[in-house]
Amino acid sequence: MTKTDVGSDATASAASKRKAAAISADGPLRGNKRGRPRGSRGVGRGSNLSNRRATVGGRELSHIASVSSKENGKRRRKTADGKQPPAALDPTAPVFFNRRLTAESADTQRFVPQSDTEWQMFDAARTAAGEQPLVSTGASSTPSTPDNTGGVGYQVKRIRLGPCEIDSWYVSPYPDEYSRHPLLYICEYCLKYMKSEYTYTRHCAKCPARHPPGDEIYRDGNVSVFEVDGRKNKVYCQNLCLIGKMFLDTKTLYYDVEPFLFYVLCEYDEQGYHFAGYYSKEKRSAQAYNLSCIMILPSRQREGYGKLLIEFSYLLSRKEGVAGSPEKPLSDFGLLSYRSYWRRAIYEILMASSQPIAIAEISQRTGMTIDDVVSTLQTDGMLQRVGGLVGGYQLVVDREKIRAYLDRADEKNPRRIDASKLRWAPFLTKSPFIPPAAAAANDQIEEADDSASELSV
């Protein structure tokens, strides 16, 4: 053999080795950065690479390439620290959404139609939905505000809030895609509304909320009240108003919640704080309204929660140092509830006073306006005119009648607000409450002081 033959054989052997390292009979070709299979240089178009064989020292290159690929695979499977990677995750172990969902429950592929029958059912449902009008007849005041009633014939008949299914009383302006469904599922912690039970179940499994947003300002036993700012928690307060509209015919506030504060009443157990009712009030009210609207869920009514929230609103008014009153006009049920509370609050003041008492003092001690005090006393026939047309009025008190009424009220509704358990500061700092009679007396004292100072000078 000549030197030329030896050199050509060595060159062919080296080329064959490089080609064998790139071509593996056991796996697909790997592409380079330009999208071309490695080792394809010099290979003619249309040639079958899997059928090409070469030998080195009597061994087929395909066997050598296969062994090389297995060794490279073992190296790739090792991590940087030389340890083998961990085994595959257990599909039954909760690893998703803060270890609340398993891999099986987090898989959403079950929603994709698989068989021809499922695709036919899907197409039929989509066609049926497309035949209904997508634009409702109500007019929106702003582009971001949904329409008035959610379309002709659309109405949510019931809601599922926690373990209870509650029938709605009035139409609430939910978006059209939700108003099409007679039953809505609502999370009792974050108040998110959903269309399907499966979505609701998945949401409840991963929802991190266990109480309303905002500050817990009152707690007595298992009853708590949270103060929620409409500007800081806009979505929650909007959802709260949508629920309230289902049970309040005169409610018109749905989405403009930023100027309001919401006080949410909850019942506490080991699961969390369960929504029971709420009331709202304006942050800045020119008429000194301490309550704009109040709603108690039908499943929580007849438990004294309505009067409890009314009493709580007057507690905040006394804390602020102002005389408060609910926003007028009141509904029929609202007027009955307020009449009952006003009567009980005034009677307790009268029974505790052994001396004659002025209406201004009753207003100061209860936090009620003088108009509400006078209206309640006139309804009960406890104000009598004295001295004819130019005279005034006197308060006539029948203590036996008042004591009997208070005993019945305590037996019927034992829930009361404990002022010592309130942890709250006014949203706006205001001047201390001064009754009109005391204010007039202060003005006279100031005028007398001014006159005395002028005389002394």
Catalytic residue IDs: 327
How do strand 289-291 and strand 325-326 relate by DSSP bridges? Answer: parallel
Distance CA 92, CA 110 (A): 17
How many angstroms separate the CA atoms of 177 and 315, rounded? 42
Cα 384 from chain centroid?
51
Question: How many angstroms separate the Cα of 208 from the Cα of each of 10, 56, 98, 159, 212?
Answer: 70, 65, 9, 21, 11
User: Helices 370-379 & 332-352, crossing angle to 10 degrees?
Assistant: 90
- One-letter amino acid identity for 421? K
Per DSSP, 159 falls in state E
Would you give the DSSP letter of residue 182? S
DSSP state at residue 338: H
Q: Note whether 68 and 21 are within 8 A (CB).
A: yes
Quickly count: other Cβ atoms within 10 Å of residue 67's Cβ.
Answer: 12
Angle at 440 between CA 437 and CA 445, to 5 degrees: 125
For the record, the structure tokens of 438 come out as: 């005391």
As given in the structure block, the two tokens for residue 100 are: 């609340």
Within 10 A of 32 (CB to CB), how many other CB atoms are there?
A: 11
* Residue 196 near residue 184, CB atoms below 8 Å: no
Distance of CA 435 to the CA centre of its chain: 40
- Under 8 Å between Cβ of 367 and 345: no
Which tokens in the block code for residue 184?
A: 């809505």
- Strand segments (E) across 304-400: 325-326, 383-386, 392-395
Helix/strand number for the chain, H first, E second: 13, 17
The number of angstroms, rounded, from the C-alpha of 368 to the middle of its chain's C-alpha atoms is 32
Alpha-carbon span 172 to 242, nearest angstrom: 6
Q: Is 452 exposed, middle or buried (0-12, 13-18, 19+ CB in 10 A)?
A: exposed
HSE, side-chain direction, 13 A CA sphere, residue 165: 7
